[in-house]
Amino acid sequence: MTRLASVRSNSRDGRLVVVSRDGRRYLPGPVPTMQVAFEQLDQLGRRLSAIVAALDAGEGELLDNATLMAPLPRAFQYCEGSTYLSHMERNRAARNAPLPPGHGTDPAVLQGHSDRFLGCREPLLLGDPEWGLDLEATVAVIVGDVPMGVSAADASACIRAVVLLNDMTLRNVIPGEYAKGTGFFQAKPQRAFAPLAVTTDGLGAAWDGRLLDAEVRTWANGELLGTLRTAVDTAFDFPDIIAYAARTRPLAAGTIVGSGTISNRDPSAGFGCLAEKRALEILGGQPPSRYLQGGDTVRIEAFAADGMSLFGAMETRIIDAAADRQSRL
């Protein structure tokens, strides 16, 4: 298993490191940055294997998660598809809104910001508590170069690694942007990532070439919000989304492709976001839970069948921007 991370350096892209299986030690990577690694990954196999062998033999420096950036601290492109239909169905049912055309037969894919991602311990600055900040547990893949017009059958070979992120959303900002008919932009604050990117050849039974098979747990302020299966209740898989995204243009190596919010139809599994929890509360005639506020903490982590933490944990503390400014005066 090749586990990659980016350590802080004097560069905005950090410094690539290879992390031991137990997540405790690291050695420098064979190229300077994660982006370069994904551009050259097919040629780096032997060098990466030698570094992993050295880590397995006990070599390496102790890893401090506080020094880690997002695996790709910034990317040329981020896009995601709505893989789990129950996420949209619940949210739209709660506000009595129709489902979009092609729901369930055609992936709904959107493009998002990618100029700066948060690391696994970085806080998120919330400008206004009334914006309705929500978490969104999301699996994503990082691809090599993808040719335009690639088929879903061939797209799997373009996937190089898998990551876990919190694709946070400002729910109360969305309606105003949707009304303009251009999608949303301000409704997406910064995304936070778990510390590790894991290459597909090292995920074993947790990766079938199409989907990650893992249990993702979400917590808000220490309370378990969801225990979700990533390979359950999916209408589309990653090759489907990649083929859709590359229909009219190629995708550059290092592009991140997300699954959309993980959502299981069985309500006993809990939730990967607060919006779905609120939707079921509203439909059940109950007062909805509040969204995230300054001082809150979100934790997200994915586990393999044997209990191994696949990507490490991300824990994001929410900071009220106004209170933070006042404290600095």
Assess contact for 211 and 231: CB atoms under 8 A. Answer: yes
Q: Which two tokens stand for residue 162?
A: 């898998």
Angle at 37 between CA 33 and CA 41, to 5 degrees: 170
Q: What is the pLDDT of residue 100?
A: 83
Task: Give the helix/strand (H/E) hosting 278.
Answer: helix 274-283
Longest dimension (CA), the chain: 59
pLDDT over threshold 70, residue 101:
yes
Average pLDDT over residues 109-120: 96
Taking only the tens place, the pLDDT of each residue in 294-303 is 999 999 999 9
Q: What is the pLDDT of residue 159?
A: 98
Domain 73-328: give its CATH superfamily.
Fumarylacetoacetase-like, C-terminal domain (3.90.850.10)
pTM: 0.95
Q: Which two tokens stand for residue 327?
A: 């404290």
Where residue 106 falls among pLDDT bands split at 50, 70, 90? confident
Distance CA 281, CA 293 (A): 19
Reduced DSSP (H G I as helix, E B as strand, rest coil) percent helix, strand, coil of the chain, to 5? 25, 25, 45
Q: How deeply is 58 buried, as exposed, middle or buried, from its count of CB atoms within 10 A (0-12, 13-18, 19+)?
A: exposed
Q: What is the pLDDT of residue 97?
A: 85
CATH 3.90.850.10 in the chain, residue ranges: 73-328
Distance CA 266, CA 1 (A): 32
